[in-house]
């Protein structure tokens, strides 16, 4: 979960180029929709990130189809838009989860619900396939009307430490459990959104698996630091410094920052418990 810079793309120009790349009825439909789409983009900007209030456009089935076709059928301007949004280095990893590679674009407002934003750059979030699939057409809670997910371009991720990790030994293995905790300064709506984002994208299990896989590769490094003198304080210090280093770039709520912090304070782990890592499957 992290924020990324708002794209600075000339969206009316992109829409015009996509329109020009089409043929026949679709081309003429998109052409007549240009003014409507420009107004819809302004409405998006004025509401973001609280896009629950966006009004539905009255579109004919043919207009809806043409707008969805504009995104789903690859054209040169659509391919350029995709590359512009996914190529920046700070978008390489999916901002929704922070673990997968951004290989797709997720429509923050689902395109089936609001096809007028099917090719709007500010509605297209670089994301991994897993997040895109899990998010699907979910947007708001049907009971409360509150939106489920953080908008990577508009929402600022709280700087308070809300990501928590429980860790313990269980017989011959290490159990990890990530969760989102309420902290002082976090308003209820933000906390609820963080919680639903975390739950619906199954981040607890995905972070746990990433952490265990990552730690397996760190075993030799931990052993070298611990050394023949069994220096658990040195290992704890090393882990704390790694947490600080990662936090400087990714903030306090990155799964790896939380992992290193937890391990640095886990006495049994630093006193040789880390050797269980070599037995993880
Ligand atoms: Zn993801």
Instruction: For residues 67 and 18, give the distance between their C-alpha atoms in angstroms, rounded to a whole number.
Output: 10
The residue to which tokens 């052993």 are assigned: 223
pTM for the model stands at: 0.88
Indicate the helix (H) or strand (E) that contains 124. Answer: strand 124-127
Per the CB < 8 A criterion, the answer to whether 234 and 225 are in contact is yes
- What dihedral do alpha carbons 20, 21, 27, 32 form, nearest 10°? -40
Rounded mean pLDDT, 266-276: 91
Q: Which pLDDT tens digit goes with each residue over 159-202? A: 889 999 999 988 778 899 999 999 888 888 889 999 999 999 99
User: Ligand 1 centroid vs 37 CA: distance in angstroms?
Assistant: 29
Q: What is the mean pLDDT of the chain?
A: 92
User: Ligand 1 centroid vs 95 CA: distance in angstroms?
Assistant: 6
Per-residue model confidence (pLDDT) at position 79 = 94
3-state secondary structure of 180: strand
Q: Which pLDDT tens digit goes with each residue over 109-167? A: 999 989 999 999 999 999 999 999 999 877 888 788 888 999 999 998 888 899 999 99
User: Ligand 1 centroid vs 69 CA: distance in angstroms?
Assistant: 25
User: Ligand 1 centroid vs 160 CA: distance in angstroms?
Assistant: 22
User: Ligand 1 centroid vs 176 CA: distance in angstroms?
Assistant: 20
- β pairing state of 124-127 and 104-107: antiparallel
User: Ligand 1 centroid vs 159 CA: distance in angstroms?
Assistant: 20
Instruction: For residues 182 and 189, give the distance between their C-alpha atoms in angstroms, rounded to a whole number.
Output: 11
User: Ligand 1 centroid vs 152 CA: distance in angstroms?
Assistant: 11
């Amino acid at each position: 979960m992290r924020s990324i810079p708002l794209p600075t793309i000339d969206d009316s120009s992109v829409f015009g180029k996509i329109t020009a790349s089409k043929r026949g009825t679709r081309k003429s439909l998109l052409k007549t929709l240009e003014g409507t789409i420009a107004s819809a983009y302004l409405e998006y900007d004025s509401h973001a990130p609280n896009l629950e209030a966006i009004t539905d456009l009255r579109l004919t089935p043919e207009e809806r189809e043409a707008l969805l076709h504009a995104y789903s059928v690859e054209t040169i301007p659509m391919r350029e838009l995709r590359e512009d949004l996914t190529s920046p280095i700070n978008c390489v990893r999916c901002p929704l989860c922070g673990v997968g590679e951004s290989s797709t674009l997720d429509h923050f407002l689902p395109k089936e619900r609001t096809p007028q934003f099917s090719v709007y750059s500010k509605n297209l979030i670089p994301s991994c396939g897993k997040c895109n699939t899990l998010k699907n057409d979910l947007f708001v809670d049907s009971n409360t009307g509150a939106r489920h997910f953080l908008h990577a371009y508009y929402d600022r991720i709280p700087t308070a430490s809300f990501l928590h990790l429980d860790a313990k030994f269980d017989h011959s293995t290490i159990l990890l459990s990530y969760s989102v905790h309420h902290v002082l300064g976090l308003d209820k709506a933000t906390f609820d959104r963080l919680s639903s984002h975390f739950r619906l994208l199954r981040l607890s299990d995905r972070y746990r698996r990433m952490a265990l896989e990552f730690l397996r590769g760190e075993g030799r490094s931990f052993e070298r630091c611990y050394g023949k003198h069994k220096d658990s304080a040195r290992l704890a210090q090393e882990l704390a410094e790694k947490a600080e280093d990662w936090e400087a770039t990714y903030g306090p709520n990155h799964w790896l920052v939380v992992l290193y912090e937890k391990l640095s304070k886990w006495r049994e782990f630093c006193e040789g418990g880390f050797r269980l890592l070599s037995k993880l499957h």
